[in-house]
Structure 1
Amino acid sequence: MTATDPWHRALADILSRSHRLPPDELPAAVDAALRPLGVTATIYLVDAEQRDLRPLPGSGRLAAELLSIDTSLAGRAFTNVEVHAGQGPPPRLWVPIVNGTHRLGLLEVFPPADADLADRALRDGSRLISGIIGHLVSSKSDYGDVLHRTRRSRPMGVSAELLWQLLPPLTFATPEAAVSALLEPCYEVGGDAFDYAVHGGTLALAILDGVGHGLPAVLTTSVALAALRAARRAGSDLPGLVRAVDATIAAQWQDARFVTGILAEFDTGTGLLRYVNAGHPPPVLLRRGRAVRTLEGGRRPPLGLPHGGFEIAQLRLEPGDRLLLHTDGVTEARNAAGEMFGLPRLADLAERHIGSGLPAAETLRRLSHAVTQHEGGLHEDDATLMLVEWSADASANSEP
């Protein structure tokens, strides 16, 4: 494409409109920019439970309905982060909407009737537009409610509303590694949370589980998460992060409140993983597609409780390794007969989905739904998963 290409002009048009664009007017801005090309489009956002794609109000076709991720061609484009063509009628392209590598939804593109759906310029141009939409969906979400409302199938509880504002995007990738996380139940969460940050080739990781349920548990975890970030952004090393969370929880509450968790740092250049396990289920190491061991080192009492010191565990990963972190709500999820989901089942499903070559975010989506199905859709506890992939191929697989 050249600078005078009509798709670039459409991109420039959306950018010029974006500075003072309210969230609810995003569809109108996209429609206006695409009109000179004879193209119309519908913006779909993935819902909070990662089951359906929901049309953004005012976007494209008036009769647009929600689309199932698991049973539609559109869903296949979303799960594989690939452009797919639908012959219609009318013919269309399904183009993933991402912000970086965080899957946000799909753009349904209707080109002119005589267009070739395999045309490179059409596909590249559609990806350009979907890319800017992804950035705008992320940046404009803080300025209004329509983008949040579109992604919800029912009202969100207060504890979940608070926690989701604190969590980072579900997926992030560098050229060397990809990290993805998912939390259920998304509308009524308890004390689970996750965090990550990248700086200078080091990937900081955390998965947390506050004692109790509902809003009190979320408040405890929120304080732990804030203490962790404050210390990390002040330049603390891994032991300093642990001590900061300990001290903050102990100073805030005198009722033996605590948070279990794993705090870790991973050097994406050397493969060195350093971690502390504060009363939490051990992570699972997957190597060459197989679950080979759990990481049993670095143990100490939960964060916020008195202890006699702790040690940092170390492990050298191999290129291609994956690390699966989880809270006890995953392995201890029970069905109607009282049978737990269990670590062997989790490891087996992880092996199968990873062997299918799925992006990290899709692997977690399927694992999370397997836990929900096992429980019959009724979560007794939060179930949080985090997958870290040290692989250039896995990282590239997260990008459209």
Structure 2
Amino acid sequence: MATTDAWLRAVDDLLYRAHRVAPDQLPEAIDGALRPLGVAATTYVVDVEQELLRPLPRPGRPAPDPLPIDASLPGRAYSEVRVRAGQDGRLWVPVVDGTERLGLLEVTLAAGTDPDDEVLRDGCRSIAALVGHVLAGKLTYGDTLHRVRRSGPMEVSAELLWQLLPPLTFATDTVAISAILEPCYEVGGDAFDYALDGGLFALAILDGVGHGLPATLFTAVALAALRAGRRAGTELPGLPAVVDAALRSQWTDGRFVTGVLAEFDVGTGRLRYVNAGHPAPVLLRRGRAVRALTGGRRLPLGLPSPDTEPGEVRLEPGDRLLLYTDGIIETRDAAGEMFGLPRLADLAERHIGSRLPAPETLRRLSRAVVAHRAGPPRDDATLVLLEWSGEAAARVEP
């Protein structure tokens, strides 16, 4: 049985190798670091659809089959962000970057090894944590890791948009935020953003008019203007005008972006928001949807609109805020029935009541929307969940 010092040496070895490792050589670097411990590992990354865990290829070796997230032991380890032990001498260890789920590390143990040994589990967690950071860092340096995560080609609009978005999940000791977008390979006009500075958590959800690349370009300008305004010190009431000006400087044909721009004080629970022609966010308290936030209304971004006083609400510890685009509630089944806000709220209550991590709650909500949909998607469908809870934030950490 490897000692704590042996695992620390493996972490140090992998860290040293990672400085100059090429993205497609990461599996060999992990193997080299773990070899002295007498264990082997296979790294799986979650696909863009968040349906399968796909193995990173190793030269000269046949690739294992992808693993389904739903209804499998590895999938449970990924969904719950918890180490799971199989009955075949394997450990399944979540791989995260910070708190964003990236995949799993399959650790094959030597015969006679106790999978419940705490030194072993702690060592595997440390290796998996470093693998997560390395994976995230190497994504921008090659295409191999992107190819592994895809089941098909990605449209130009989606390729552009994914490069603009922040990580899907972020958490501190007191707050967690997670987002999910569909359709993954064709998404165009939807986007989200967040930033935490000095105890103020800025967040936004956007939905540009139209589809495809024109909608993406329009939304991209709105997103960039929003960030530029924030970083220049513009406070929430003035941000819509900054976005309006940027959009109208490039387009004069009446295009617009709907959205919710919000500012949450992590210390006091004060939430201020402006709703620019967008579906009203839903407040969930003690696992129940208690109200829609209907204040702070103005015209969509890009259209002339008078100054608007932000809406305001005081959150309580443990509250959750669910934001969504109209593509969620307007998805129709074969009979033409819309998914609808009542169904969304009911499913959110049920999944939140099961104490799932925020990204898993959204993954299951998104899967429910896809299952309801008949035929190809007609619109982008995006969800964002903010949780003000130390317990909820801890659930996104292995």
With normalisation by structure 2, the TM-score equals 0.98
| Percent of pairs with identical residues | 68
Q: Do the aligned partners of residues 357 and 238 (structure 1) sit closer, same or farther apart at CA in structure 2, a change above 3 Å counting? A: same
Q: Name structure 1 gaps, 5 residues minimum.
A: none
Distance 2:149 2:210 in 1: 28
The residue that corresponds to 1:277 in the other structure is 275
User: Offset at 1:21?
Assistant: 1.2
Distance 1:55 1:3 in 2: 28
The residue that corresponds to 1:323 in the other structure is 321
User: Are the counterparts in 1 of residues 3 and 119 from structure 2 also a CA contact under 8 Å?
Assistant: no
The residue that corresponds to 1:342 in the other structure is 340
The residue that corresponds to 2:184 in the other structure is 186
Q: Residues 1-400 of structure 1 correspond to what in structure 2 (within 5 A)?
A: 5-58=5-58, 62-88=62-88, 91-376=89-374, 378-400=376-398
CA displacement 1:19-64 (0-9 Å, x = unmatched): 1111011110000000000110000000000000000111897341
CA displacement 1:137-174 (0-9 Å, x = unmatched): 10100000011111001111100000000011100001
Q: Which of 55-64 and 251-260 deviates more?
A: 55-64
Distance 1:162 1:185 in 2: 14
CA displacement 1:238-259 (0-9 Å, x = unmatched): 1222211111001111111110
Distance 1:248 1:293 in 2: 33
User: Offset at 1:260?
Assistant: 0.3
Moved over 3 A (4+): 59-63
Distance 1:376 1:70 in 2: 21
CA displacement 1:73-103 (0-9 Å, x = unmatched): 0000000000000011xx1000000001100
User: Are the counterparts in 1 of residues 57 and 63 from structure 2 also a CA contact under 8 Å?
Assistant: no
Q: Which of 17-26 and 381-390 deviates more?
A: 17-26
CA displacement 1:194-226 (0-9 Å, x = unmatched): 001111111100000000011000000000001
Amino acid at match of 2:83: V
User: Offset at 1:342?
Assistant: 0.3
User: Offset at 1:14?
Assistant: 0.8
- RMSD after superposition: 1.5
Distance 1:14 1:208 in 2: 40
Q: Do the aligned partners of residues 61 and 69 (structure 1) sit closer, same or farther apart at CA in structure 2, a change above 3 Å counting? A: farther
Q: Do the aligned partners of residues 59 and 101 (structure 1) sit closer, same or farther apart at CA in structure 2, a change above 3 Å counting? A: farther
Amino acid at match of 1:364: L
Distance 1:75 1:4 in 2: 28
Distance 2:62 2:6 in 1: 26
SS for the counterpart of 1:5 is helix
Matched residue count? 398
SS for the counterpart of 2:397 is coil
User: Offset at 1:350?
Assistant: 0.1
CA displacement 1:327-374 (0-9 Å, x = unmatched): 000001111111000000000000000000000000000000100110
With normalisation by structure 1, the TM-score equals 0.97
SS for the counterpart of 2:173 is coil
User: Are the counterparts in 2 of residues 45 and 105 from structure 1 also a CA contact under 8 Å?
Assistant: yes
User: Offset at 1:190?
Assistant: 2.0
Distance 1:131 1:182 in 2: 22
Q: Which of 174-183 and 60-69 deviates more?
A: 60-69
